Amino acid sequence: MRLEAAELVRVTIPLVGAFTAAFGTLAARDVLLVRLVTDVGEGWGECTTLAEPFYNEEFFDASAIVLRRWLLPPLFQRSELRADEVRSVASRVKGFAAAKAAVEMALLDAELRHEGRSLSSYLGGTRSRVDVGVVVGILGSVHELCETVARFVAEGYARVKLKIEPGWDHQPASAVREAFDTLPLQVDANAAYDPSSADRLLALDGLNLLMIEQPFAADDIDAHRRLATRMATPICLDESIPSLNAAVTALDTGACSIVNLKVGRVGGVIEARRIHDLCRARGVPVWCGGMAETGVGRAANVALASLPGFTLPGDISASSRYFARDVTAPFELVGSSLAVPGGAGLGVSVDDDFLTELGATREVVRGAR
Ligand code: OSB
Ligand code: MG
């Protein structure tokens, strides 16, 4: 395959409701998509970070600079390019995992479309449907929270994750637990707690939670290890695991017993599969995290979650959880699961007219020849 043209597409898509977590409030979803044209056809990828560096270090303006200046140019130089080479070519650039993941995703989409093969099949997926859960953000009141959870449960979601932060943790979580006594429930703090106030998290142990996700700073592996020795609720890491090496360290030290896998956080679906393989070999459950993606990133998530080690429901809700209209055909909930696309590549097509209608800006990137 040869890369012939690249386009960075920026667009803002309205959300059906604001989404608040410890990292702030998303009132609309800013999106950065990558469209790559190759000699065997085109492919799309999504850069699944946020507009601001509030979840991790990466943010769209920076991702776009890195794509334009350092990630795409060397790929234009190669006469024989395979998607599984992106990671090593891009390794000279440190960080910017979501930008790298977007390029790999788009090249895989192009390559697999050409081969007539789905991403799920390429990765070694073993399911045609994946169980999913839904994430409920920080809301204005416990009453509103319980109503929101009730609505999602009525839609079919069989697992709910609550966003927490200091001041919005035990009280809302216990209200949800009281109202839904058998609901599989978990919480995610997005690194909002200081290890010196770890005591307040111990009260969550009484709520029969599936796990607590990322209470402390991404680089504070030892604080997570210490909490794990004091808490019965399993610790899951998200932001602390940007790579396979980080996953090995977290598991070896006992900082977590469950791993959240996100394509954009680890630099692509291939690295995500390697972390999955490691966890599976060690009997550690993994699940697919989400970043309120469009149908492009969501398709990659669903394909990834079809691998056998994904034994817990992912944060891969139906498109309607975030968007009245998505840039692809919507992913729809049937029961508590989504269908894994069987079509070639990502198995979705991007509605270019809708992108235009939304006022998307498109920047053509050419190789520095
Ligand atoms: O930590 O899981 C997270 C959204 C943006 C950034 C970080 C996270 C999230 C979510 C939403 O929790 C998951 C989703 O429904 O896509
Ligand atoms: Mg998280």
pLDDT in tens, 180-239: 999 999 999 999 999 998 999 999 999 999 999 999 999 999 999 999 999 999 999 999
Q: How far, in whole angstroms, is CA 270 from its chain's centroid?
A: 14
CB 312 within 8 A of CB 287: yes
Cα–ligand 1 centroid distance for 292 (angstroms):
6
Which atom belonging to ligand 1 lies closest to the Cα atom of 289? Answer: 2
Mean pLDDT of 163-170: 97
- Regarding the beta carbon of 160 and ligand 1, being less than 6 Å apart is answered no
Which atom belonging to ligand 1 lies closest to the Cα atom of 161? Answer: 12
Place of tokens 């006992």: 254
Per-residue buried b or exposed e for 295-312, using 16+ beta carbons within 10 Å of the residue's own CB: bbbbbbbbbbbbbebbeb
Give residue 369's pLDDT band: very low, low, confident or very high (50, 70, 90): very low
Cα–ligand 1 centroid distance for 215 (angstroms):
14
Mean pLDDT of 243-261: 98
In the annotation, is 163 catalytic? yes
Mean pLDDT of 55-79: 97
Which CATH homologous superfamily contains domain 3-116+349-365?
Enolase-like, N-terminal domain (3.30.390.10)
- Regarding the beta carbon of 292 and ligand 1, being less than 6 Å apart is answered yes
Please state, for a pLDDT cut of 70, what percent of the chain lies above it: 99
Residue 267, helix vs strand vs coil: coil
Q: The domain 120-339: what is its CATH number?
A: 3.20.20.120
Give residue 11's pLDDT band: very low, low, confident or very high (50, 70, 90): very high
- The answer to whether the pTM exceeds 0.75 is yes
What ligand has the least distance to the C-alpha of 49? 1
- Regarding the beta carbon of 317 and ligand 1, being less than 6 Å apart is answered yes
Q: Say which of 94, 100, 161, 163 is annotated catalytic.
A: 163
> Pick from 331, 245, 296, 236: which is nearest to 109 by CA?
296
pLDDT single digits (tens) 119-131: 999 999 999 999 9
* Cα–Cα distance, 134 to 314 (Å, whole number): 8
For residue 97, the one-letter residue type is A
Domain boundaries, the chain: 3-116+349-365, 120-339
Give the phi and the psi of residue 3 in degrees, each rounded to 5: -80, 125
Residue nearest to atom 6 of ligand 1 (CA): 291
Q: What is the pLDDT of residue 366?
A: 81
